Amino acid sequence: MSRRKGSCLCGALSYDIDGDVDGVWMCHCSNCRKASGGNGNAIVIVKRENFHWLTGEDHRVTYELRPTYTITRCKTCGTPLPAEEDETNVYLTAGTLDDPIGVGVKARIFCGSRADWDFDMEGSRHFDERSS
Ligand SMILES: [Zn+2]
Ligand SMILES: [Zn+2]
């Protein structure tokens, strides 16, 4: 069975997941845009039994931002972390994965709230690393 690791930016928190995942959900709602500071949150949904904290589980801080919206971050580096919001699933922030998952975005939600700049302009330049 495949096993993939993830971690926060400072490395205090790490986890792994078992089994394959079937794709990434992108949420473009205004809460996710602000919480991420970008175009939204990229989430992989995994069963709770397939998710395991390896280190730093006690290093999390949870912010209740709205009655129905909370985010969990590393208390040292602020990385948005996988959240255990319901009984069956963990909502894993895809950017914290260290290993490839072999699938892409399967769905985008709240596209009506998508930022107006969230597309590549014609002639948009792409760089493998920092721009030169
Ligand atoms: Zn951290
Ligand atoms: Zn959202």
Residue 1 pLDDT greater than 70, yes or no: no
107 CA distance to ligand 1 middle (Å): 28
- Token reading at 83: 């959240």
Give the pairing of strands 3-7 and 14-18. Answer: antiparallel
Domains along the sequence of the chain with CATH: 3-113 (2.170.150.70)
Cα(48)–Cα(82) distance, integer angstroms: 11
pLDDT-derived band at 105, boundaries 50, 70, 90: very high
Neighbours of ion ligand 2 (CB under 5 A): 27, 29, 32
pLDDT digits (tens, 9 = 90+) for 65-99: 888 889 999 999 999 999 987 899 999 999 999 99
> How many residues does the structure list for the chain?
132
Cβ-in-10-Å burial (0-12, 13-18, 19+) of 13 comes to: buried
Neighbours of ion ligand 1 (CB under 5 A): 8, 10, 12, 74, 76-77
8 CA distance to ligand 1 middle (Å): 5
Task: Kindly give the residue spans of alpha helices, DSSP state H, lying in the chain.
Answer: 30-36
Among the bound ligands, name the one nearest to the CA of residue 29. 2
Taking the model in full, what pTM does it have?
Answer: 0.91
